[in-house]
Amino acid sequence: MYGIISSSEYIYDIRHAVQDNSIWFEESGEFSSDTFLIHCHSAAKANVQTLIIDMTCVDDASFIRGIQQFRLLRDSRIVIIAPGRVPGDSTITTLLGLQVLDIVAPLVDVDNEDVDRPSIAPLIKAQLALKPSYGNAVRWDVKTDEAANLKELQSLKKNFSKEKEKGKERVSTNGPDQNLLDHIHSDPTIIEYISNMDLPPPPKSVVKEVVVYKDRMVGTPVIAVGGVDRRTGSTWTAMQTARFLAGRGFKTVCFELNDALCSPNVFRFMDFQESKHTPGGFHIDGVDLFSNDRLISVDRIISEYEYAVLDLGQIIKNNKLNEGIDLFVRANIQIVTAGSSDWDFDRLTAAISLFQSRDISKKLNILINLASEQRFNEINKLFTKQEKEDYKLSFYQAPYMPNDTTIDLRTEELLTMIMAEFLSVEKQKRSWHFWKRRS
């Protein structure tokens, strides 16, 4: 139920707060960056419901990276122990963006270090008793406070301008009207805020969710591939996608993150060369490969590449979504592989129902493998236009290509269509020029 990563200073308090028999994962000490990342990865694999982490066990930069790695695999509750931290702390402000909403920040008496400090177990218990919500952490969100204060000042300025234009109040020739000055003088917090605030320039345009910089997206786009059953072509599709990107000159990585109980590891049989850009993996046909039979830091490795492809294998078993579904949902592009038989179609509809029950509203690119033109059209027509819009479904017929090392013209067209939004601007232009050439 609970996972703990803590320094030796606070480990006993945390144990007392959660009770030893509820702890599924525990590591204590002062850690290096790599060791801390390994612990965060292991905690995610342990499937803990609540992770309690002490910020004093590692440096701040590594702490943030560890939380990012955990979040990539799990959406579990995270409680951080932050001794001596106060609102305005840049690290905690960053963590709020990673949905860390539980902060326990005991005071640190630096003047009496020799005196035994009180136990923080009651503080942890009190925090765990609360329902996780943004309201519990709002005082730490300094950016929100600044926005609110800025809005109040802008409102005052707007009201002053209106009064000045209407001439309803006496206005001094040397400054604002007296009523406005009285209002400001009556609230010293406004004066204090004005004197300390470095106002940013007004935004020139609305910030978009996807940022493009130098013809390339900032951050690493992730393509997740998962099958509704075994042997539906998940690994084939993932490798074809990775080769497609690498063939266009992009630094590409492909991860095998399938459930070993559902399907065997395949990448370990491709141990021909050492991975070129990040150690610890394999390399084939321009793509770095990492297999889940090794201890790997997915989040850290992804950041070293321009594109990442995740082979999640069978993502549904016994009418339940496998744990890899968290990675599937967080990816930029979701590809679902399915067969063309009647029983394959049953599993596909069951998968779509499971996605809806989990409120998974991402666009699903459904790739039907080993289907004739007639059979694909039959499957495609079984969903109405309205159902496709409501469930965000797009159906594609996968080309028949037994050799996964070969990418033919049809496969290129298919992958260009699926990934057009997330290909770089320059590459998109080339792809669409190619489309025009064939029309």
Q: Higher model confidence: residue 60 or residue 88? A: 60
CA dihedral (265, 266, 270, 275) positive or negative:
negative
- The pLDDT value given to residue 260: 65
Higher-confidence residue of 11 and 97: namely: 11
Go through the chain and tell me how many residues it has.
439
d(CA 158, CA 172) in angstroms, rounded, equals 17
Q: Where exactly are the structural domains of the chain?
A: 2-140, 143-166+180-196, 217-438
Whole-number Å distance between alpha carbons of 227 and 339? 9
pLDDT (tens digit per residue) in 38-58: 898 888 888 788 999 999 999
Residue whose C-alpha is closest to residue 423's, from 212, 207, 208, 236: 212
User: How far from 177 is each of 155, 161, 191, 312, CA to CA, in Å?
Assistant: 15, 10, 17, 66
Q: Given this model, what pLDDT does residue 271 score?
A: 56
Would you state the pLDDT for residue 14? 93
Answer yes or no: are the C-beta atoms of 233 and 227 closer than 8 Å: yes
Q: What is the pLDDT of residues 255-297, one digit of tens each?
A: 988 876 666 566 655 556 888 888 888 898 899 998 875 556 7
- What is the average per-residue pLDDT within 415-429? 72
| Domain 2-140 fold | Rossmann fold (3.40.50)
Question: pLDDT tens digits for 29-42?
Answer: 999 988 898 898 88
The least confident of 183-187, 245-249, 363-367, 405-409 is: 183-187
**8 A C-beta contact, residue 298 and residue 255:** yes
What average pLDDT score do residues 100-112 get?
A: 82
- pLDDT for 245 equals 94
**Identity at 364, one-letter amino acid code:** L
pLDDT tens per residue, range 111-124: 665 567 889 999 99
Per mean pLDDT, which range of 94-108, 137-151, 360-374 is the poorest?
A: 137-151
The answer to whether residue 314 scores a pLDDT higher than 80 is yes
418 class by beta-carbon count within 10 Å (0-12 exposed, 13-18 middle, 19+ buried): buried
pLDDT of 145: 47
Retrieve residue 37's tokens: 């990342």
What is the predicted pLDDT for the residue at 258?
A: 80
User: CATH topology of 2-140 equal to that of 217-438?
Assistant: yes
Which range (57-61, 189-193, 298-302, 415-419) has the least confidence? 189-193
CATH number of this structure's domain 217-438: 3.40.50.300
Q: Which residue has the higher pLDDT, 180 or 22?
A: 22
CA distance 427 to 404: 23
Lowest mean pLDDT segment, chosen from 15-19, 150-154, 220-224:
150-154
Name which residue leads in pLDDT, 297 or 407: 407
pLDDT per residue over 213-244, tens digit each?
333 344 789 999 999 988 898 989 999 999 99
